[in-house]
Structure 1
Amino acid sequence: MGEHETPSGTADHEATGEILAAVGPRLRRIRKERGATLAGLSEATGISVSTLSRLESGLRKPNLELLLPIARAHQVPLDELVGAPEVGDPRIRSKPIVRHGRTHWPLTRQPGGLLAYKVLEPARVLEPDPRTHEGYEWLYVLSGKLRLVLGDHDVVLGAGEAAEFDTRVPHWFGSTGEGPVEFLSIFGPQGERMHVRARPARKGKDG
């Protein structure tokens, strides 16, 4: 499918570093806006106070296992914590990657590890073309509807829903055609899975 080629370039690397560096202050700001204490957030998320404090001070690198329960506790979209670039924002210094009409914003640069992207798929109807390759993928829908064809399954994921799967199983995903869809894509080597739990995706009509 070509979605998982590692992006290159010094500008992208610097921009990703800036995004990650801004996560800590953003976490502190959102927590204080909600009048929450570190102890209260720790109780709500199961993450220790020391880990939360290190996240906010930038001493602990943010990852999905930490950010997802924090987003749930604050009841905010995951990308609000990450501060992923908004489409069309002229202030974005990193250059979006466009492949086959789909726009990717790289959120991590860890060769050999997990690769994370914010993805915008335009409203269009495409014929599913399932592919296979080594790896494991996790999808989280931010807005819109994402059609996922996985083996014998054909489902539609809505905002706030997630799916994870072995990419050796024939798979394809894209817009249902009802409108654009924004989602997070986390891709890792074979055997490296996300340690999160999400409710099963509801079944939807074929796009």
Structure 2
Amino acid sequence: MSAQGSSRPTADAAVGERLRRMREARGYSLSALARAAGIGKATLSGLEHGTRNPTLETLYAVAGALGVPLTALVLKPGDPPAAAVDVRGAAVTATLLEVFDEPGATFELFWMRVRPGVAQHSPAHARGVTEHITVYGGVLRAGPEDAPLAAGPGEHVTFPADVPHVYEAGGPDEVVANLLIRSPR
């Protein structure tokens, strides 16, 4: 099935296992990582045990606290992007299309849909992370919470994602876009 109509699962027990291994390798207790990510300890425990479906907001908060790209949590090393789970947030559903690793940065390319009528607030990612969005349908408002940018079909926005930022449809139609996240190493 194409990325536009993806039917990949939204939860994956392997995500919890990768999360637990990264947490332990960095010497974080469950409580310490939950505090650093700004989420509840019960939420983090549920993610690690595979009993909670991770939201996009929660995954980004945890990835940021661990200092890793989102794909480090949702994709097993060596697996193709198609093996990753779809991630959903309050307004956004993202499907991983590709990961590009270069000596200085990791690039994650997602197919993104933004539902109208609700804003999604994303926590700050790791220092130096930028997002680049090309819109194919609908009108998108995205960027730093204090100064979001607007883009329509065929337009592109770029913004620093190491500050809290927001995504929302700027009208009644769902936004369809590609999201490229650049995470420096």
Normalising by structure 1, report the TM-score: 0.46
Is it true that 1:7 corresponds to 2:6 in the alignment?
yes
Amino acid at match of 2:70: L
**Matching of residues 57-72 of structure 1 within 5 Å:** 57-72=49-64
Q: Structure 2: which 5+ residue stretches go unaligned?
A: 110-127, 140-151, 157-166, 176-181
Amino acid at match of 1:143: F
Identical pairs, percent? 32
Match of 1:21 among 10, 13, 23: 13
Change (3 A) 1:108 1:47: same
> Which structure's residues are more often strand, by fraction?
2
Give the Cα–Cα distance (whole angstroms) in 2 for the partners of residues 78 and 45 of structure 1.
Answer: 13
Deviation at 1:108, TM superposition (A): 2.4
Change (3 A) 1:167 1:34: same
Amino acid at match of 1:76: V
Partner-residue secondary structure (3-state), 1:35: coil
Match of 2:95 among 98, 114, 117: 117
**Matching of residues 121-140 of structure 1 within 5 Å:** none
Partner-residue secondary structure (3-state), 2:28: coil
Partner-residue secondary structure (3-state), 2:63: helix
Match of 2:142 in 1: none
Partner-residue secondary structure (3-state), 1:143: strand
Give the Cα–Cα distance (whole angstroms) in 1 for the partners of residues 51 and 61 of structure 2.
Answer: 19
1:116-142, CA deviations, whole angstroms, 9 ceiling, x for partnerless residues? 2222399xxxxxxxxxxxxxxxxxx94
Cα root mean square deviation, aligned:
4.3
Amino acid at match of 1:170: P
Change (3 A) 1:52 1:25: same
Give the Cα–Cα distance (whole angstroms) in 1 for the partners of residues 16 and 50 of structure 2.
Answer: 5
Match of 1:143 among 73, 98, 107: 107
1:28-52, CA deviations, whole angstroms, 9 ceiling, x for partnerless residues? 1110011100111122111011111
Is it true that 1:167 corresponds to 2:166 in the alignment?
no
Give the Cα–Cα distance (whole angstroms) in 2 for the partners of residues 115 and 167 of structure 1.
Answer: 15
Partner-residue secondary structure (3-state), 1:171: coil
Q: Does the 8 Å contact 2:84/2:96 carry over to 1?
A: yes
Deviation at 1:143, TM superposition (A): 1.8
Match of 1:30 in 2: 22
**Matching of residues 58-207 of structure 1 within 5 Å:** 58-83=50-75, 86=78, 107-108=85-86, 114-120=92-98, 142-143=106-107, 160-163=129-132, 167-168=138-139, 169-171=152-154
Q: Does the 8 Å contact 1:38/1:49 carry over to 2?
A: yes
Normalising by structure 2, report the TM-score: 0.51
Change (3 A) 1:144 1:4: closer
**Higher Rg:** 1
- Matched pairs, number: 126
Structure 1 segments, 4+ long, off by >6 Å, are 186-189
Amino acid at match of 1:83: L
